[in-house]
Structure 1
Amino acid sequence: MRLTILNDNIPSKGLLNDWGWSVLVEERHRFLFDADTRGDVLAHNSKALGISLKNLDFAVLSHWHGDHYGGFPLIGRLNPGLRLYAPSGGRIEGLSVFEVREAGEISDGIWTSGALDGFEQAVGIEAPSGLVIIVGCSHPGVDRLTEAILRVSSYKKAHLVIGGFHYPSRKTLDRLAEMAEFIAPAHCSGDEAKAYMKRRYPEKFVEVRTGTVLEVEGVPAG
């Protein structure tokens, strides 16, 4: 299983960067989770990384904030009619929005947490190494989103949780550490959360940034 970070808040040489989050997932299915703030960032970075944004199986939007859906019009032009699994509340030209409300399986081995607080979802993907959970901004709490995915997927623990944790408390991070083997705070997690994870759980902490490619099996790629 491969995760490619097309954009995160932390830049990398040769790639464009802004405040946003977007991950290309390649396993049994090939799909995009969130689409950053700007399509030109995704277009540039995908080309620089040798990745095509065409021929996606579907796409997922965590929540309707611009730093997560801004690049989806580009994805709609490249993949006309592509299904976008999203909480209720918006439309994207060129994409077929399927509104997600309840937790459930959206495709074989891929689960949604449902729209927690009616607002934001996470996804869990079954991989040979275990369950990989991707979050967007975790406004309802990364621990709550992770719990929802574990519950709907019947997994007892996640192999990896990755994404924006929305400046979580140490208590939230401690709870997350009990539910995951590896943890990759990104986007809106904040420097304090990253520093705490790196200090308190060095064996679990995974550093990611724009352009990071994780092959997931053994995870740490840093």
Structure 2
Amino acid sequence: MRECDELVLTVLVDNYIDMLMSNSPGITRQGMPEHFGARRGTPLAENGISFLLRATTAGRTTTILFDAGMSPIPLVHNARLLGIDLTEVDQVVLSHGHPDHFGGIYAALEQIGYRVPVLVHPSAFTPRLIQRPDATLQYFNKALTESELTAAGGAVVPLKDPLEIAPGVMTSGEVPTTLDFEEEVPVGRMSVRDGHVCADPIEDYLTLSINVKGLGLIVLDPCGHAGVVSAVDHALKLSEGAPLHGVLGGFHLGHAGITQAKVDRTVDELVKRKPAWVSPMHCSGFRTQRAVAERMPDAFKLMTVGTVVRFAA
């Protein structure tokens, strides 16, 4: 896997805002001066995630929007607040077809303003349902269709297999769950296949990895559906020898029914892999953030809406 010289990563959408945190080496945050003096408003959080990546190699930068949050307003609002020009986006990648990851895509495409490639697994468009407490089923991803993406200005690129989309930036393709404890039980989540309602395997899920020169591999795992450790191992295998530097995203451990034992085992396995940077975000849950902070205090970095990180040796 090739390397990029520098990665600048911006959190456009996440579940969490903290305006009291200060900057630190390589990390710029939206702090109190921006909070009280902002002419464009203050950052907005929601149950979703979106990253903006700027990967630079030999002076050339590729800008990638990875996921789009839950709803139309926060992504566009936060980009404007941070002075980000979405017309500079070269590619859009959607990790999977759940609304907390694609909900802002149409608003983003409107701002991008040209026929930008949208990389997405074909199964992301599979009709999906969730079981309500009264046992009735309701669709929850009807808004994501290939025709709507095309009409909004996207050029849909079907993506099942790993693909280097810029120097040092690779999509995972389908991510295998290789650790038994990370097998996900899709309680209440269904999909429609061949006219039948069945459990949803979420085979459309993908991650991004960025190999930064002098640092190693940074794995962006937005929702952890395959298991964050399995996703890291898959990325390392694809990199063909790059060391692990960091893992950021939603670890999918904040939901009801997730046991403390699973949280602890996940952190145990991350400790074994020795990343220098670990940021549980979005659906990771407070227990996971606390466990990483306690077990990996030097590696733990709390990411919030508006955080900008420069990864470079």
Show the counterpart of 2:16: 10
- Does the CA-based 8 Å contact 1:157-1:181 persist in structure 2? no
Q: Deviations over 1:91-150 (max 9, x none)?
A: 223211212212232332211211226221011112232221111101110111111111
Is 1:21 aligned to 2:46, yes or no? Answer: no
Shift of 1:12: 4.1
Shift of 1:51: 1.1
Match of 2:119, SS? strand
Is 1:124 aligned to 2:216, yes or no? Answer: no
Show the counterpart of 2:68: 35
Shift of 1:152: 0.8
% identical equivalent positions: 31
Q: How does 1:74-113 map to 2 (within 5 A)?
A: 74-79=107-112, 80-88=114-122, 89-90=124-125, 91=146, 92=149, 93-113=152-172
Residue 106 of structure 2 is aligned with which of 73, 83, 86?
Answer: 73
Gaps of 5+ in 2: 1-6, 20-41, 57-61, 126-145, 177-202, 254-261
Match of 1:85, SS? strand
Amino acid at match of 1:73: Y
- Does the CA-based 8 Å contact 2:263-2:287 persist in structure 1? no
Show the counterpart of 1:55: 88
- Does the CA-based 8 Å contact 2:95-2:222 persist in structure 1? yes
- Does the CA-based 8 Å contact 1:103-1:148 persist in structure 2? no
Match of 1:199, SS? helix
C-alpha separation between the residues in 1 aligned to 2:241 and 2:276? Answer: 13
Gaps of 5+ in 1: none
Shift of 1:73: 0.8
Structure 1 residue ranges (4+ consecutive) displaced by more than 6 angstroms after TM superposition: none
Shift of 1:78: 2.7
What count of residue pairs does the alignment treat as equivalent? Answer: 218
Q: How does 1:149-168 map to 2 (within 5 A)?
A: 149-167=235-253
C-alpha separation between the residues in 1 aligned to 2:49 and 2:105? Answer: 12
Which moves more between the two structures, 5-14 or 101-110? 101-110
C-alpha separation between the residues in 2 aligned to 1:142 and 1:119? Answer: 15
Amino acid at match of 1:7: V
Shift of 1:177: 2.8
Show the counterpart of 1:144: 230
Using the size of structure 2 for normalisation, the TM-score is 0.66
